[in-house]
Structure 1
Amino acid sequence: MIHIGLTGLGDHPDVYQSSSSAKEKLKDYSMHFPIVELDASFYAIQPERNICKWIDETPETFQFIVKAYQGMTGHLRGKSPYDSPEEMFNQFKLSIGPLRDAGKLAMILMQFPPWFDCKKENVDELRSIRRHLEGYDIAIEFRHQSWYAGELREKSLAFLRDLDFIHTIADEPQDGDGSVPLVAVSTSEEKAFVRLHGRNVGGWRNRTGDSEAWRKVRYLYNYSDAELEEIRTVIGGLDSSTEDVYVIFNNNSGGHAAENAKRLQKLMGIDFHALAPKQLDIFEGE
């Protein structure tokens, strides 16, 4: 089964009803898509009340891909609010516990920074993460090319398979060492994960040092029909060998993600069922 959705709860004005308040955005979103990537969890481990609210606002079959807290993937700058890695991981597990109990946790996404390269220290870190999160479905997204260089590519994929990790298949601008190739290989028979960042090569580079401005253009991209056809072929290949394929559009900067996702859905002839009821689908013609 193929599941298509977007990154973030509040970045997609095209799917919100004009009369909706900020608190109703997730309800509106769940009228259109069966999954969402929860990115608030990257910036802070979420309190249980937030998680329970999101569970109550979505249909029974709705699924969340939870992005791991930044302290768990080496992104955190400054002092950690937790006394130890054990405390941090335990708090994260407590936070997502209600999602797991409700059957709404699709997977945990662990996206590593560009400096997380293929070396023994980082391989050991992945082993440690598996011990901390034993029994959870975990998607690993590499952002350093060394994991895919030469013979290391097959070794990296085999390593993910051995630790029961889901390999995140990323579509992103190809900018030398600053990006990873699209490697359409699933390391799990149950779940495959495709994450679409767009192909804005110019925006992918941070030449000015202005990180805030860079974030605004990094994911500024509108996929063409031809590019979505390429992605459809990739997804079709994964669907033939994997039980569930999760597809997330992360090209949010210009508001293209929702329309692109709807276009891909139409291209693939997919009709999502058990969504929240809606009065009007703004993406469909009369």
Structure 2
Amino acid sequence: MGSVRIGVSGWRYAHWRGRFYPRGLPQRRELEHVAACFPTVELDGSFYSLQRPASYLAWRDATPPGFVFAVKGGRFVTHMKRLRGVRTPLANFFASGVLALGDRLGPVLWQLPERQRCDLGVLEEFLDLLPRSTGAAARLAREHDDKLKTDPWTDVDADRPLLHALEARHRSFEDPAALRLLREHGVALAVSEGAGQWPLLDHVTADLVYVRLHGRTRLYASGYAPRTLDEWARRVRAWHDDGHDVVVYLDNDGDAHAPHDALALTDRLTDVAVPAAA
């Protein structure tokens, strides 16, 4: 039977202070507060730039055992290189400290631009490069180049499975050949709701189902109505009942909707959702 983890995308939002974070809570303790409310969070800063091992260690230490970070892959790989010729950029990404999360490391998300169409050859080459375990990621990380501006982290405390999800935002990724490639590589095609700005691709391609909820009516801004949360709860339950592990990240951070909607969705799935640490 699969597991269900519900959380938020990112946590460092000034406008959450006093709305979700208690007034007076020091910024350095905001992740600790998130980890007390949710069993997972999507680490967003890694998308914009390579982070440092010290940061990953601090994030790991701020969370309890059993907590899981989903880590967004770098936009240099997805938006600048468009998945082409990315062996060394992937090595730099994994050498930047991702592996320092240890047993807190969950799936890695690769978010594509909205206009990027599916090129089957490029997709297959990229999927072939993705490490399927932390040990394989460490070996790839040792191929980093001098563009890595920090001390590399290429060690692991244990060799664990490493899962990946691809957030495609173009309908061409519904090509049966693309779905077959994803299934062959065990990579999840993310179910991503973006206020109608891109298609919601609902195809299960792996044991993992990765869901991102960016807003139903306004991107990153609108809250989810109770009936809409009921709808998502039914879908999550169905995936779980089919034996899938499901992660759901609310990314409608405007007006602090994301954490409150994530808690409301969790309330609808208390019998199957992994609870936050007490």
| TM-score in terms of structure 2 length | 0.80
Per-residue Cα deviation, 1:189-219 (whole angstroms, up to 9, x for no partner): 2x2111111122xx4xxxxxxxxxxxxxx31
Give me the whole-angstrom Cα distance separating, in 1, the residues matched to 2:112 and 2:86.
Answer: 16
Q: Is the 8 A contact 1:110 1:139 kept in 2?
A: yes
Indicate whether 1:165 and 2:184 are aligned. no
Partner residue in 2 for 1:179: 198
Partner residue in 1 for 2:167: 141
Give me the whole-angstrom Cα distance separating, in 1, the residues matched to 2:173 and 2:241.
Answer: 25
Partner residue in 2 for 1:282: none
Per-residue Cα deviation, 1:226-260 (whole angstroms, up to 9, x for no partner): 11111011101110123421011011122101111
Q: 1:23 and 1:170, CA in 2 relative to 1: closer, same or farther beyond 3 A?
A: same
Q: 1:37 is aligned with what amino acid?
A: E
User: 1:147 deviation in Å?
Assistant: 2.1
The within-5 A match list for 1:1-286 is: 1-11=3-13, 12-13=16-17, 14-75=19-80, 85-94=86-95, 95-99=97-101, 102-118=102-118, 122-135=119-132, 136-148=162-174, 152=175, 154-174=176-196, 178-183=197-202, 185-189=203-207, 191-200=208-217, 203=218, 218-270=219-271, 272-273=274-275, 275=277, 277=278
Q: 1:139 is aligned with what amino acid?
A: A
Give me the whole-angstrom Cα distance separating, in 1, the residues matched to 2:274 and 2:131.
Answer: 31
Tell me, what secondary structure is at the counterpart of 2:23? coil
Per-residue Cα deviation, 1:34-67 (whole angstroms, up to 9, x for no partner): 1000000011111100000000000011101101
Per-residue Cα deviation, 1:144-163 (whole angstroms, up to 9, x for no partner): 12223xxx2x3332221012
Gaps of 5+ in 1: 78-83, 204-217, 278-286
Tell me, what secondary structure is at the counterpart of 1:30? helix
User: 1:20 deviation in Å?
Assistant: 1.8
Q: Which has the higher contact order (CA 8 A, sep 6+)?
A: 2
CA RMSD of aligned residues (A): 2.0
Instruction: Report how many aligned residue pairs link the two structures.
Output: 240
Q: 2:237 is aligned with what amino acid?
A: G
Q: Is the 8 A contact 2:8 2:250 kept in 1?
A: yes
Tell me, what secondary structure is at the counterpart of 2:69? strand
Q: Is the 8 A contact 2:35 2:276 kept in 1?
A: no
Q: Is the 8 A contact 2:195 2:215 kept in 1?
A: yes
Any runs of at least 4 consecutive aligned residues in structure 1 with deviations exceeding 6 A, and if so which? none
Q: Is the 8 A contact 2:20 2:256 kept in 1?
A: no
Q: Is the 8 A contact 1:15 1:32 kept in 2?
A: no
Give me the whole-angstrom Cα distance separating, in 2, the residues matched to 1:43 and 1:27.
Answer: 22
User: 1:89 deviation in Å?
Assistant: 1.3
Tell me, what secondary structure is at the counterpart of 2:38? coil
Tell me, what secondary structure is at the counterpart of 1:188? coil
Q: 1:42 and 1:111, CA in 2 relative to 1: closer, same or farther beyond 3 A?
A: same
Give me the whole-angstrom Cα distance separating, in 1, the residues matched to 2:249 and 2:243.
Answer: 17
Q: Is the 8 A contact 2:5 2:246 kept in 1?
A: yes
Give me the whole-angstrom Cα distance separating, in 2, the residues matched to 1:162 and 1:182.
Answer: 18
| TM-score in terms of structure 1 length | 0.78
- Give the share of equivalent positions with the same residue, in percent: 26
Give me the whole-angstrom Cα distance separating, in 2, the residues matched to 1:128 and 1:269.
Answer: 40
Gaps of 5+ in 2: 133-161
Q: Is the 8 A contact 1:112 1:141 kept in 2?
A: yes
Tell me, what secondary structure is at the counterpart of 2:22? coil
Tell me, what secondary structure is at the counterpart of 1:179? coil
Tell me, what secondary structure is at the counterpart of 1:93? helix
Q: Which moved more, 1:242-251 or 1:125-134?
A: 125-134
User: 1:18 deviation in Å?
Assistant: 2.2
Per-residue Cα deviation, 1:51-87 (whole angstroms, up to 9, x for no partner): 000000000111011011111102479xxxxxx8333
Tell me, what secondary structure is at the counterpart of 1:103? helix
